[in-house]
Structures are given as structure tokens and as C-alpha cells.
């Protein structure tokens, strides 16, 4: 468990401590009246003054805290306990238990809370013993709903299935596996319930339905102070202040608890050493290049300083050319693609370098200019077409929007153009398919629709980020064929981001291999794959599943995270060829042969 933040604990602890130990403070009897000194100003004996009956306000405030807090905490604890049990059983066991738990709560929700309170108090008489179960019933549906919804989403998780597969009983799964995973929202719900129970108790007491006078309670005190508000306004202030502080402290405590029981907060991060300034953009872009990146570096600011998930990436893509950007997860290949589109997530920023699309420096364009560029000159397709398409719009409408974004045209013509694009990407029966919503299409069809959107304005550069990873092999073959055909006929440049070397071999002319945020090797696909000049490329090629039935060779270890990069060559700790001097200094991507670039001192040993 993570350490609990001390602030909220101290605050709630102090309030509870004051309430519990109030008999030991030697205060006045909160019921002792002293009519002679009614509404007296604060004195040393009565630090907060005296109320309309001359009772000590401080004593009443503290004794009142006992009542208010006891009612609020026991009623919300009761609701929490029963509600969690009902929600857990209903969500996990389903069937009649689910029906009873949920429909029962619906019945409770049908009653307006205040009316229910009035009814119960009228029948059973006012007082704390009535209030506790009453408030518990009122807050029950919230707990049941929160837990039930949580259980429904957790019960389908693989780790629950794993427990079943291990032969665990239902009780063990419910209490040991599901309950801890729905605990966070329950704590939040508890803080809401406890805070609003304090308020409701005060409100009911104010109305004369809660705690019975002359017993002290914050609600009663507010009610009584209201009558003498003009003579002694301070009397109203104290209970209100106590109420607000208590609610704030309770909310803060529950938030802190929720954070503390969540293990995700715990990360063992090491501070990385000072990073070299890599702000050395290249000279001018090569004429005619569809895209040129020069020393692109991306930074993400973290509490322990900036990390650089992409460092010094330089590459060039010419028209008609397909460049594959290949790397494992965390290599920075997708961030590179997003930066080129000016679509970096808010936490990331470009820390250095330049990116030219057809000679224009995209990193220095304003948002309006970028928008004009996107779609028209450069377009992007993503891995998961389902989450990239709008689920509530017909497919042709969405393609139409892409068309409209850059050239206004009448609605009829736009629709016709969308249908034409659908036909162009090989969707059968496009007139009918145009009316489909994304969920009515298969994965391959959705990816075709995404491609149709991307090519709507004949971009000169298409960035495809793992476009076939989510697809089946036979569908992947279709989409690769389609992309190759589109590139052949339009002459656009294609950047194909992928983790699959065989796919690279099928589609790309040139390849840039990325490792831990850097390009480690670049060259023509056939040459790189036949004779890699960087140990990582060689190891990656050896780890591809073999077709002759032998096991592939693994690369030992794991990719270093961007906050714990090793000094020198990032691949050195996993490299078979590493020597002592590999772990120091900086390495540049160097052209060691014609059109062959590598970031390795020992490339000649591999050759």
C-alpha cells in the first residue's frame, strides 16, 4: 500500500478526537442554561459566547459534533456495508439476487428523500436512533449502484477468469478479487454519503425532525441561531463553520484513501542523469522530399524532470516511396508520427529539431495552418478504426466531412464523392455501405473506410500507424495490397509505422529501425534485412518466428524505459557485441556505406 497523505488524516483525526474526548475537557454542561447571560459576547469562560438560553456555545458545538458525526458516520458505514454486499452479490451471482438487489433499490429511489424522512420520523418519532437507519436506507442505492456497475466491468476481466480457472470458490473471488478492484469508487461514494449525511442530519434537526432539543446538534444550533440572527450573527457562524470544515476534511480523507489503496501510484523511478542538449536542427530540407525530419526530439515533462521518448530522429521520405518506421512498443515510433502531424498529446512537446512537409516547417506552423495541412497534404490512419471513427455517424457522412474540410461542395456531390471513395478502396456495394454506421462494418471494412477518409483530398504523404495490427492475416493481406495500389497510382509517399518485420519486408522500400527513442539503423529494406549493420536489427530479425519450425532467438532483457536510459548506446546492455566503450559517450547515426546508416561503433564486426 502507498503511504497515506498525512494532511486529511490529521484533519479528520482532530475532529474525531475533539468529539470523542469532549467529556474530558471540563467544559460547561451544554444543557446548563444561564438566562441572565443570554447572547453574551465571548469571554474567557465562554470563548465562543453564549446562546439564546445562555448555554456555552463551545460546549454545545463540541457535544453537537459527537451527535452529528456519530449519526453521519454510522449511517453511511451501515449503508456502505449493506450496499456493497448487495451490489457485489447482485453483480457477481446475477439471477434472482441481482433482480432483488436492483429492483429493491429502485423502490427506495422512488421516494423523495425528504418525504421518506418525514414519513419515518412521524411514524417512529424523532431522535438519533431513528435517523441512523433512515439515512442508511437513503444512501443505500448509491452504494449498490456503484458497486454493481464496478462488478459488472470487473467480472469479465481475465484475472477473474483466471481465479475461476484456478478453481477458486465464489466467495473467494467476490471478496478477494472483485471487492478490492471496486473499492476506489466505494470510498468516493462513502465520502459523498458521509458528508451529505452530516448536512441532512443538520437539515432534519433544523426542521425539528432529527435530534430532539435540548440535546446539542449542529443542525439544531443553526436553527436556534436563525431566530436571533440579528442580535448575535456569530452564533450562526460557528456551527456552519464546523459543518463546512468537517465535510471538506471527510472528502479529502476519502480521496487520500482511494489514492493510497491504488497500487498504480507506486512506481520505482530512478532519476535519470543530465541529458545532452540535442537541439541541432539540420540545414535546409532536401528539395522535393515529401517529409524530412531533422534531429526531432520530443520531451515529456514529469515531476522528476523531462524525459525524452524520441531523440534525434532524422529521416527523409520522397514521393512514391514507402518508408517503414519499425520498432517495439516504447520505441517512440508512434510519437514520431504524431509529431509530424502536429498531433502530440498535451503532455508531450517538441524539444528540438525540425520537420518539413514539402518544404514547410510543420513544427513552427500555427494551429490554423496545421489544420489546412492535415488531410490536404498529409493524412494519417490509425491501428484501431473503431475508436477513430465516430460511432453515431453514417460512414459516408464522415468521409464527406473529410472532403468538406478542405473544399466546400454541395451535400449531394459530397455524398457522391464519398461513395466513389468507398468504391475506390474496394468496399463492395458502396451505395448501400455508405449508409452503414461503423459498428455495422467488419474490422477490415472499417480500415478501408478510414483509408478512404485519409485519401479524400489526395494527400501527398500518408502516415499509417500500425494499420493492419488489429486485423486478421487474410484481411491484412487485403489492406496491404490496397495501400500499395493506392501509392502506385497516386504517387503519394507512405510512412508505415509497424512492429512487424515481415510486414515491412512486404510493403516498404526503405526502413528506419527505432530502439528506445532513437533510429539505430536506416537503409533499403532488402539490404538491411539481408545484412543488418546494427546488432539490434540483427537480433530483431532473429527473433521473428521461423518458418522452418525451429524456435526463434530471443533478445535477453527488456527495452529500457525513457526515464532510465543507460549511458552511451541504449542497446548496449542487451547487445552480444557490446564492449566497455559502448556504455559511454554519444553515438551518432552515421552513413557507413552508400545509403546505409547505423548508430553503432562496431558495425563492421557484424558485416
Indicate the SS3 state at residue 561: coil
Please tell me what DSSP assigns to residue 276. Answer: P
Taking CB under 8 A as the criterion, the residue among 11, 192, 544, 592 binding other proteins is 544
Are the CB atoms for 29 and 210 separated by under 8 Å?
no
The DSSP annotation for 17-71 comes to: HHHHSGGGGTPPPTT---GGGTTPPP-SSSTT-B-TTS-BHHHHHHHHHHHHHHH
CB of 423 to other proteins, least distance (A): 8
Q: Which residues in the 155-174 window bind other proteins by CB under 8 A?
A: 157-159, 161-169, 172
The distance of Cα 46 from the centroid of its chain, to the nearest Å, equals 52
When asked if residue 559 is in the footprint of other proteins (CB under 8 A), the reply is: yes
For other proteins, the closer CB: 401 or 506: 506
For other proteins, the closer CB: 551 or 588: 551
At a CB cut-off of 8 Å and minimum separation 6, what does 362 contact? 340, 341, 342, 355, 356, 370, 373
Tell me how many residues contact other proteins (CB under 8 A).
74
Q: Give the DSSP H/E element, type plus range, for residue 294.
A: strand 291-302
List Cα–Cα distances, 404 to 401, 410, 460, in angstroms.
Answer: 5, 9, 18
When asked if residue 457 is in the footprint of other proteins (CB under 8 A), the reply is: no
Q: Taking phi first (over 0 means left), then psi (-120 to 50 degrees means alpha), and beta for anything else, what does residue 297 get?
A: beta
> Which span (4-12, 264-272, 350-358, 580-588) binds other proteins, by CB under 8 A?
264-272
For other proteins, the closer CB: 127 or 185: 185
CB of 167 to other proteins, least distance (A): 3
Residue 590 phi, psi (nearest 5)? -120, 140
CA distance 136 to 105: 12
Taking CB under 8 A as the criterion, the residue among 501, 533, 538, 582 binding other proteins is 501
For other proteins, the closer CB: 43 or 558: 558
When asked if residue 65 is in the footprint of other proteins (CB under 8 A), the reply is: no
Taking CB under 8 A as the criterion, the residue among 230, 273, 367, 474 binding other proteins is 474
CB of 110 to other proteins, least distance (A): 26
CB of 261 to other proteins, least distance (A): 8
For other proteins, the closer CB: 367 or 429: 429
CA distance 148 to 88: 6
Taking CB under 8 A as the criterion, the residue among 92, 218, 529, 563 binding other proteins is 529
Binding mask of the shown chain, residues 406 to 445, with x at each position contacting other proteins by CB under 8 A: ------------------xxxxx-------------xxxx
CA distance 443 to 472: 9
Q: Give pairs for 155-159: CB < 8 Å, separation 24+.
A: 155/91, 155/92, 157/181
When asked if residue 387 is in the footprint of other proteins (CB under 8 A), the reply is: no
When asked if residue 475 is in the footprint of other proteins (CB under 8 A), the reply is: yes
For other proteins, the closer CB: 409 or 458: 458
When asked if residue 516 is in the footprint of other proteins (CB under 8 A), the reply is: no
Q: Which residues in the 327-346 window bind other proteins by CB under 8 A?
A: 328-329
CA distance 207 to 200: 10
Taking CB under 8 A as the criterion, the residue among 549, 580, 588, 594 binding other proteins is 549
Are the CB atoms for 98 and 91 separated by under 8 Å?
yes
CA distance 389 to 439: 10
> Which span (13-21, 49-57, 178-186, 191-199) binds other proteins, by CB under 8 A?
178-186
Taking CB under 8 A as the criterion, the residue among 267, 345, 346, 367 binding other proteins is 267
When asked if residue 490 is in the footprint of other proteins (CB under 8 A), the reply is: no
CB of 503 to other proteins, least distance (A): 5
Taking CB under 8 A as the criterion, the residue among 151, 395, 482, 511 binding other proteins is 482
CB of 484 to other proteins, least distance (A): 10
The DSSP annotation for 364-421 comes to: GS-HHHHHHHBTTTEEEE-S-HHHHS-TTS-HHHHHHHHHHTTS---HHHHHHHHHHH
CB of 590 to other proteins, least distance (A): 24
Q: With 0-12 CB in 10 A as exposed, 13-18 as middle and 19+ as buried, what is 492?
A: buried
CB of 190 to other proteins, least distance (A): 18
Among 315, 299, 303, 322, residue whose Cα is nearest residue 355? 315
CB of 549 to other proteins, least distance (A): 5
Indicate the SS3 state at residue 450: helix
Q: Which residues in the 179-198 window bind other proteins by CB under 8 A?
A: 180-181, 183
For other proteins, the closer CB: 425 or 565: 425
Taking CB under 8 A as the criterion, the residue among 171, 268, 271, 273 binding other proteins is 268
Are the CB atoms for 205 and 221 separated by under 8 Å?
no
Indicate the SS3 state at residue 98: helix
Taking CB under 8 A as the criterion, the residue among 36, 387, 545, 594 binding other proteins is 545
Amino acid at each position: 500500500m502507498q503511504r497515506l497523505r498525512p494532511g486529511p488524516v490529521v484533519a479528520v483525526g482532530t475532529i474525531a478526537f475533539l468529539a470523542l474526548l469532549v467529556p474530558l475537557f471540563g467544559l460547561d454542561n451544554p444543557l446548563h442554561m444561564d438566562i441572565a447571560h443570554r447572547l453574551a459576547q465571548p469571554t474567557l469562560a465562554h470563548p465562543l459566547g453564549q446562546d439564546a438560553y445562555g448555554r456555552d456555545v463551545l460546549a454545545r458545538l463540541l457535544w453537537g459534533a459527537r451527535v452529528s458525526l456519530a449519526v453521519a458516520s454510522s449511517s453511511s458505514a451501515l449503508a456502505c456495508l449493506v450496499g456493497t454486499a448487495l451490489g457485489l452479490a447482485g453483480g457477481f451471482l446475477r439471477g434472482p439476487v441481482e433482480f432483488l438487489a436492483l429492483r429493491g433499490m429502485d423502490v427506495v429511489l422512488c421516494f423523495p428523500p425528504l418525504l421518506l424522512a418525514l414519513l419515518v420520523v412521524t411514524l417512529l418519532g424523532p431522535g438519533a436512533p431513528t435517523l441512523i437507519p433512515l439515512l442508511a436506507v437513503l444512501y443505500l442505492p448509491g452504494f449498490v449502484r456503484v458497486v454493481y456497475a464496478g462488478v459488472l466491468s470487473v467480472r469479465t476481466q481475465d484475472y477473474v477468469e483466471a481465479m475461476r480457472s484456478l478453481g477458486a470458490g465464489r466467495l473467494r473471488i467476490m471478496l478477494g478479487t472483485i471487492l478490492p478492484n471496486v473499492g476506489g469508487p466505494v470510498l468516493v461514494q462513502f465520502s459523498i454519503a458521509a458528508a451529505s449525511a452530516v448536512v441532512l442530519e443538520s437539515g432534519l434537526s433544523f426542521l425539528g425532525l432529527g435530534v430532539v432539543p435540548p440535546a446539542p446538534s449542529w443542525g439544531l444550533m443553526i436553527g436556534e441561531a436563525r431566530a436571533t440572527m440579528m442580535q448575535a450573527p456569530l452564533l450562526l457562524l460557528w456551527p456552519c463553520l464546523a459543518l463546512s470544515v468537517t465535510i471538506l476534511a471527510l472528502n479529502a480523507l476519502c480521496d487520500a484513501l482511494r489514492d493510497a489503496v491504488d497500487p498504480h501510484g507506486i512506481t520505482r523511478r530512478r532519476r535519470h542523469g543530465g541529458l545532452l542538449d540535442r537541439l541541432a536542427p539540420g540545414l535546409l530540407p532536401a528539395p522535393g522530399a515529401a517529409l524530412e525530419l531533422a534531429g526531432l526530439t520530443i520531451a515529456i515533462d514529469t515531476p522528476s524532470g523531462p524525459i525524452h521518448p524520441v531523440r534525434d530522429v532524422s529521416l527523409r521520405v520522397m514521393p512514391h516511396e514507402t518508408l517503414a518506421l519499425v520498432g517495439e512498443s516504447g520505441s517512440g515510433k508512434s510519437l514520431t508520427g504524431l509529431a509530424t502531424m502536429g498531433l502530440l498529446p498535451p503532455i508531450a512537446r517538441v524539444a528540438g529539431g525540425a520537420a518539413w512537409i514539402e518544404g514547410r516547417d510543420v513544427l513552427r506552423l500555427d494551429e490554423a495552418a496545421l489544420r489546412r495541412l492535415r488531410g490536404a497534404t498529409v493524412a494519417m490512419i490509425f491501428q484501431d478504426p473503431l475508436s477513430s471513427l465516430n460511432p453515431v455517424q453514417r460512414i459516408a457522412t464522415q468521409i464527406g466531412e473529410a472532403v468538406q474540410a478542405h473544399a466546400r461542395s454541395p451535400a449531394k456531390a459530397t455524398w457522391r464523392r464519398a461513395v466513389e471513395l468507398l468504391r475506390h478502396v474496394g468496399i463492395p456495394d458502396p451505395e448501400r455501405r455508405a449508409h452503414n454506421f461503423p459498428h455495422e462494418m467488419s474490422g477490415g471494412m472499417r480500415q478501408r473506410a478510414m483509408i478512404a477518409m485519409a485519401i479524400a483530398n489526395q494527400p501527398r504523404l500518408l502516415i499509417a500507424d500500425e494499420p493492419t495490427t488489429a486485423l486478421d492475416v487474410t484481411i491484412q493481406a487485403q489492406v496491404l495490397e490496397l495501400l500499395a495500389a493506392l501509392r502506385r497510382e497516386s504517387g503519394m509517399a507512405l510512412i508505415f509505422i509497424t512492429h512487424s518485420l515481415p510486414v515491412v519486408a512486404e510493403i516498404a522500400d526503405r526502413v528506419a529501425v527505432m530502439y528506445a527513442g532513437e533510429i539505430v539503423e536506416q537503409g533499403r529494406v532488402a539490404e538491411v534485412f539481408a545484412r543488418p549493420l546494427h546488432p539490434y536489427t540483427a537480433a530483431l530479425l532473429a527473433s521473428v518466428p521461423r518458418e522452418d519450425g525451429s524456435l526463434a532467438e530471443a533478445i535477453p532483457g527488456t527495452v529500457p524505459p525513457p526515464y532510465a536510459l543507460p549511458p552511451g548506446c541504449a542497446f548496449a546492455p542487451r547487445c552480444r557485441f557490446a564492449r566497455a566503450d559502448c556504455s559511454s559517450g554519444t553515438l551518432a547515426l552515421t552513413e557507413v556505406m552508400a545509403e546505409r546508416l547505423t548508430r553503432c561503433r562496431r558495425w563492421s564486426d557484424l558485416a
